[in-house]
Amino acid sequence: MQNDSQLPKLVDVKLKPKEAKAINLRYPRSGFKTKLNAGSCKILSLINKIEPAEADGAEAGLTEMDKLELLLKVKDDVDKIAKDTEIQGSNSHGGPTAPEPTSGTHDIGTGPADYAGFDPNDFGGSGETACPVCTFLNPSSNKECEMCQSKLD
C-alpha cells in the first residue's frame, strides 16, 4: 500500500470469506491494523496457499483470493500528527512548546463528515467491543461479530 499524502495513516484491514466454503489460504482471520507513514510504501500482508498444488475453483475461473472480500479502512493518524506538531514547535530556549489549548470542538483528522459509514472510533479505545468467542474487535455499534457472527453482549 502506498501513502502519497503528507499525513501518516492508520489502516484497518479485514478479510472475510464471501461464502461459507473452505479457502485454501493462510490469512489473518481477525484482520489486522497497521500504521503507514506519510510518503511511504508498505507490504501489508503476504497470503500463502495452504496446499500450493490445489486448484479448487479454478474450473469456474476463480482464484482463492476471489473467494475473499477485502475491507479496507484508512484514516489520518491524529495521535502521531499531534505528537509531531508538538515536537516541531519550540520556545525561546529551543525546547518543545506546550500544545495550544483548544475548545475541544474541532474535528481535525476525523475524516470527511460526508463519508458514509466513517466512524473515527473504529481504531480502538472505547469504540470497540471484543467478541467473546473469537476476540475480534468489532465497532461497539455492532450487534454481532463481523468475523464469526456470534452475538455481542
Question: Which three cell numbers mark 77?
Answer: 493518524
pLDDT given at position 58: 59
pLDDT at 126: 62
Q: How far apart are CA 148 and CA 151, in angstroms?
A: 9
**pLDDT recorded at residue 112:** 44
The owner of cell 475473499 is: 68
Q: What is the pTM of this model?
A: 0.49
Query: Long-range contacts made by residues 113-118, C-beta under 8 angstroms, separation at least 24?
Result: 118/75
Instruction: Per-residue pLDDT tens, the chain, 153 aa: give them.
Output: 898 988 899 999 998 888 888 888 888 888 888 888 889 998 888 888 888 777 665 555 668 888 888 898 999 888 887 887 776 654 555 555 555 554 444 344 444 444 455 555 555 456 778 888 878 788 888 888 888 888 887
pLDDT at 152: 86
Give the pLDDT of residue 122: 52
Give the model's pLDDT for residue 103: 45
